[in-house]
Amino acid sequence: MGCGGSKTKNHKHLIGLLTEDDKHNLQHSWRHFTSQDVVEGGMNIFLYIFKKHPEVKQLFHFVGNGDTSESLKSNHRFRSHVGLFCETISIAVEEIRGLEYVLIFLRDLGTKHNLYGATPKYIQTAGEGITHALRKRLGNKFTSEVESSWNKFYKILAASMIKGMQGDTMTIS
């Protein structure tokens, strides 16, 4: 019983670190990002991951090793994953005041990703990919304050996915 209590406190503590300014920065910047072609912008997140960890490409069995950034743009299955990824981030950003439920979904998504061969390191790199893609699209509107809000936020999302990957089906952060 004590154990469950402390786990609840743990995730509430993480969510509690997000200030009103953070929530505003996240919603405002993500709406700006998604006001243009989302899949095209989201591609940059995965191109960043592939550059840093080329072996991730092989985890997408529908992506060939020789695929270039140009050919990836027309790979329907790959575009679909970029879309799913961005949709997940959109839900988290829009539901930022009820994040507990999103974290439960992310934990389950982490369990699935374990089967897909993704590891915590790759999930963390996706966070760097988000800031890279946001900076590319938002230019000087992507300030250091906005970046710091994203770092705080993505850490919470990634923590839940990683819990699921590590087989922890009880806690949500």
- By the rule CB under 6 A, 12 interacts with ligand HEM: no
Supply the minimum distance, in Å, between the C-beta of residue 37 and ligand HEM: 19
- By the rule CB under 6 A, 91 interacts with ligand HEM: no
Supply the minimum distance, in Å, between the C-beta of residue 31 and ligand HEM: 18
- By the rule CB under 6 A, 60 interacts with ligand HEM: yes
Dist CA 102 CA 15 (whole Å) = 12
- By the rule CB under 6 A, 84 interacts with ligand HEM: yes
- By the rule CB under 6 A, 118 interacts with ligand HEM: yes
Applying CB under 6 A, which part among 19-27, 28-36, 65-73, 114-122 lies near ligand HEM? 114-122
Q: Which is nearer to ligand HEM, 107 or 113 (CB)?
A: 113
Residue of 48, 62, 41 lying closest to 142 (CA atoms): 41
Q: Which is nearer to ligand HEM, 9 or 112 (CB)?
A: 112
Residue of 95, 99, 127 lying closest to 15 (CA atoms): 99
- Whether 18 and 100 have beta carbons less than 8 Å apart is answered as no
Q: Which is nearer to ligand HEM, 81 or 152 (CB)?
A: 81
Applying CB under 6 A, which part among 68-76, 93-101, 108-116, 163-171 lies near ligand HEM? 108-116
| CA contacts within 13 A on the Cβ side of 85 | 23
- Whether 42 and 82 have beta carbons less than 8 Å apart is answered as yes
Which letter does DSSP use for residue 10 in this model? H
Task: Tell me which of 15, 39, 59, 91 binds ligand HEM, using CB under 6 A.
Answer: 59
Dist CA 24 CA 15 (whole Å) = 14
Cα end-to-end distance, the chain, whole Å: 17
